[in-house]
Amino acid sequence: MADRLGTEGMVVILGTPNAESSRLYGLTVTEGDPSWAGVLAGANLNLPVYHITEPEIKAQIDPGIYEDQVGLTEIVLDTDEIREALSHVRKGDA
Amino acid sequence: MDLKNKKIIALGERDGVPGSAISLCVRSAGAEVVLDVTHCFV
């Protein structure tokens, strides 16, 4: 996808259920697959990556649509841990 | 991160938020979805 369209203006938005899966997805689309098992091993895409529940993303979404699509799930997710995990990924110290 | 006019890769998970739900949300913020997937690890 990144090869075909280029990474300019591309952003990854995750719907992962916990901090660890968020960190793994996040590392994969920034530094490359941390397990070195998949096709993105060593691929430094450096794509910006956020979770759909992060406040700066949520604030841009139509509130009614967000409530319908994410509201119930958000209640059971540890959004603070997810936000912290992705913050470390973006800073490069995950 | 301003989502307006951005190209979004929506990586959803069945145990979290599905890709289709992410797509609907980010389109309402003025973004274009270029990939929308929902993974299931069960």
pLDDT in tens, A2-52: 777 788 899 999 999 999 999 999 999 999 988 888 888 888 899 999 999
Tokens of A38: 């998949």
Tell me if B21 is assigned to some domain: yes
> Can you give the pLDDT at residue A42?
82
When pLDDT is averaged across residues A87-93 and rounded to a whole number, the result is: 94
Give the model's pLDDT for residue A43.
84
Within a domain: residue B29?
yes
Cα–Cα distances in angstroms (integers) from residue A76 to residues A17, A51, A82, B5, B34, in the given order? 9, 15, 12, 30, 28
Question: What global pTM score does this model have?
Answer: 0.94
Nearest to B13 among A9, A21, A66 (CB): A21
Segments in chain B below pLDDT 70? none
Q: Is residue B2 part of a domain?
A: no
State the pLDDT at residue A70: 97
B33 within domain boundaries: yes
Specify the long-range contacts of residues A75-84, CB closer than 8 Å, at least 24 apart.
Answer: A77/A17, A77/A18, A77/A53, A77/B16, A78/A18, A78/A19, A79/A51, A79/A53, A79/A54, A81/A18, A81/A19, A82/A16, A82/A18, A82/A19, A82/A22, A82/A51, A82/A53, A82/A54, A83/A51, A83/A53, A83/A54, A83/A55, A84/A19
**CB within 8 Å: A69 and B21:** yes
Phi/psi at A41 (nearest 5 deg)? -60, 125
Q: What 3-state class would DSSP assign to A11?
A: strand
Q: Which letter does DSSP use for residue A69 in this model?
A: I
Mean pLDDT of A69-78: 96
pLDDT band at A89 (very low <50, low <70, confident <90, very high): very high
- Specify the pLDDT at position B28: 98
pLDDT score of A11: 97
Q: What is the pLDDT of residue B3?
A: 97
Using a CB–CB cutoff of 8 Å, tell me whether B37 touches chain A.
no
User: By residue range, what is the domain housing residue B25?
Assistant: 7-39
B1 within some domain = no
B33 touches A at CB < 8 Å: no
Question: Is B12–A15 a contact, with Cβ atoms under 8 angstroms apart?
Answer: yes
A55-76: average pLDDT: 97
Can you give the pLDDT at residue A68?
A: 97
| Count of domains forming chain B | 1
A11 to B1: CB separation less than 8 angstroms, yes or no: yes
A61–B13 C-beta distance less than 8 A? no
Q: To probe the interface with A, which of B25, B33, B34, B42 has the most A CB atoms within 10 Å?
A: B25
